[in-house]
């Protein structure tokens, strides 16, 4: 894919307002890209999009590639009498990432802008200025004159989704890109690009490209979709945890931007299948694709649900290193994106029946 086309895809996927439970606009974008490339597309009972890339043959193994459509966001809890919004967080946020930010609220009348107001230091006693504002104290100012104005003129209702208002952009001419929701729109972008690379190719597995819902609140969409897909192998695509900025330590994370896709060797939800891990490393080595590892003590990801669906299947999580996850402004490297696309494309091309049988076999002596 040419750089301009990649930028267009990344912009399209990250600018849209689609927090957990409100993935509709992303589902439409992914469908639009995958529909011309896939044999069949369906949506499961809670909204995950299952794209069957090629015609299914029982003699071929099922390979499930997944990425999640949702992003962390907020939800309108109620509107105060004077027209401010109180909110519920959706997914994991630091309280200090929420304050004094711009937001987009998706209402029945369209998109509405708002900001999480912050008190001025002028009125805060010197001794408490270092304290962090708690999310329970926060509110969103939409410029409404009162509750009726917020409801009738702006169309705001309890339950409306709210996402960061921050647009995709290149970061000063290099290979880094700034945007919100890299977690996990970058995974979806890899998936779409892999499908495009494989257009017309005769592949030796039944390939399922699954865009899941509700990952950020407990891997829910991966659970239902992997039940339907019956994977023999699972490849999950995620945003990784870059730790290459001041104050971040190797103990927290080991990924750096620009050093290739990361293989999660441990996170709090999953340990990858060892043979699949070694297969990925072998393919990366043959294709001269740089790889890095990450051992995280937190973090959950959809691969865990694919791994334990039905009778269990070898699974791995491949991540594109990302700075400042779960905030208004994340940063990724286009080089890592390109290398992840190359790696996943190569894996799909090699996962034939014999290879998958070998990976799935546990030695008994």
- Contact status: 160 vs Co ion (CB under 5 A): no
In the region spanning residues 221 to 260, those forming contacts with Co ion, defined by CB under 5 A, are none
Shortest distance (Å) from residue 71 CB to Co ion: 9
Query: Rounded to an integer, what distance in angstroms lies between the CA atom of residue 187 and that of residue 253?
Result: 19
Place of tokens 């992997």: 226
Of residues 70, 165, 183, 338, which one binds Co ion by CB under 5 A? 183
Shortest distance (Å) from residue 70 CB to Co ion: 8
Across-strand partners of 40? Answer: 52
By CB under 5 A, which span of 16-24, 175-183, 277-285, 349-357 interacts with Co ion?
Answer: 175-183
Per-position x/- string for 300-329, each x denoting binding to Co ion as judged by CB under 5 A, each - no binding:
------------------------------
Nearest CB to Co ion, comparing residues 183 and 259: 183
Nearest CB to Co ion, comparing residues 205 and 212: 212
By CB under 5 A, which span of 14-22, 32-40, 142-150, 182-190 interacts with Co ion?
Answer: 182-190
How many residues of this chain bind Co ion (CB under 5 A)? 2
Shortest distance (Å) from residue 183 CB to Co ion: 4
Q: Which of 7, 136, 148, 215 is catalytic?
A: 215
By CB under 5 A, which span of 116-124, 136-144, 179-187, 227-235 interacts with Co ion?
Answer: 179-187
Shortest distance (Å) from residue 132 CB to Co ion: 25
Nearest CB to Co ion, comparing residues 184 and 255: 184
Three-state SS string over the chain comes to CCHHHHHHHHHHHHHCCCECCCCHHHHHHHHHHHHHHCCEEEECCCCCEEEECCCCCCCCCEEEEEEECCECEEEEEEECCCCEEEEEEECCCCHHHHCCCEEEEEECCEEEEEEECCCCHHHCCHHHCCCCCCHHHCCEECCCCCHHHHHHHCCCCCCCEEEECCCCEECCCCCEEEECCHHHHHHHHHHHHHHHHCCCCCCCCEEEEEEECCCCCCCHHHHHHHHHHCCCEEEEEEEEEECCCCCCCCCCCCECCCCCCEEEEECCCCCCCHHHHHHHHHHHHHCCCCCEEEECCCCCCCHHHHHCCCCCCCEEEEEEEEECCCCCCEEEEHHHHHHHHHHHHHHHHHCCHHHHHHHHCCCCC
By CB under 5 A, which span of 18-26, 183-191, 249-257, 335-343 interacts with Co ion?
Answer: 183-191
Q: Is 215 a catalytic residue?
A: yes
Nearest CB to Co ion, comparing residues 25 and 300: 300
Of residues 184, 255, 259, 338, which one binds Co ion by CB under 5 A? 184
Nearest CB to Co ion, comparing residues 289 and 325: 325
Nearest CB to Co ion, comparing residues 37 and 304: 304
Interface ranges with Co ion (CB under 5 A): 183-184
Catalytic positions, written as ranges: 215
């Amino acid at each position: 894919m040419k750089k301009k086309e990649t930028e267009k895809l990344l912009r399209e996927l990250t600018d849209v307002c689609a927090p957990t439970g409100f993935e509709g606009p992303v589902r439409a974008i992914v469908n639009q890209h995958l529909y011309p490339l896939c044999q069949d597309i369906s949506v499961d009972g809670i909204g995950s999009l299952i794209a069957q890339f090629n015609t299914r043959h029982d003699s071929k193994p099922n390979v499930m590639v997944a990425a999640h459509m949702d992003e962390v966001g907020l939800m309108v809890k109620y509107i105060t009498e004077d027209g401010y919004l109180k909110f519920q967080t959706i997914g994991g946020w630091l309280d200090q990432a929420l304050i004094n930010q711009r937001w987009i609220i998706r209402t029945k009348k369209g998109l509405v802008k708002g900001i999480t107001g912050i008190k001025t230091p002028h009125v805060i006693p010197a001794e408490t200025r270092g304290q962090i504002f708690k999310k329970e104290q926060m509110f969103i100012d939409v410029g409404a004159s009162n509750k009726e104005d917020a409801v009738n003129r702006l169309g705001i209702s309890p339950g409306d989704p709210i996402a960061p208002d921050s647009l995709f952009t290149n970061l000063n001419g290099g290979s880094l890109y700034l945007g919100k929701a890299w977690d996990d729109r970058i995974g979806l972008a890899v998936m779409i690009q892999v499908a495009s690379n494989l257009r017309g190719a005769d592949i030796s597995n039944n390939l399922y490209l699954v865009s899941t819902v509700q990952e950020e609140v407990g891997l829910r969409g991966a659970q239902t979709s992997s039940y339907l897909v019956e994977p023999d192998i699972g490849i999950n695509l995620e945003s990784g945890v870059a730790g290459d900025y001041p104050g971040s330590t190797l103990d927290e994370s080991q990924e750096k931007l620009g050093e290739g896709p990361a293989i999660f060797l441990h996170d709090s939800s999953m340990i990858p299948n060892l043979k699949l891990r070694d297969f990925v490393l072998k393919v990366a080595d043959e294709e001269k694709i740089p790889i890095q590892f990450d051992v995280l003590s937190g973090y959950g990801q959809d691969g865990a649900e694919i791994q334990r669906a039905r009778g269990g299947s070898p699974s791995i999580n491949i991540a594109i290193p990302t700075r400042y996850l779960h905030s208004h402004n994340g940063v990724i490297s286009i080089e890592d994106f390109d290398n992840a696309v190359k790696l996943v494309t190569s894996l799909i091309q090699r996962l034939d029946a014999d290879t998958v049988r070998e990976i799935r076999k546990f030695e008994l002596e």
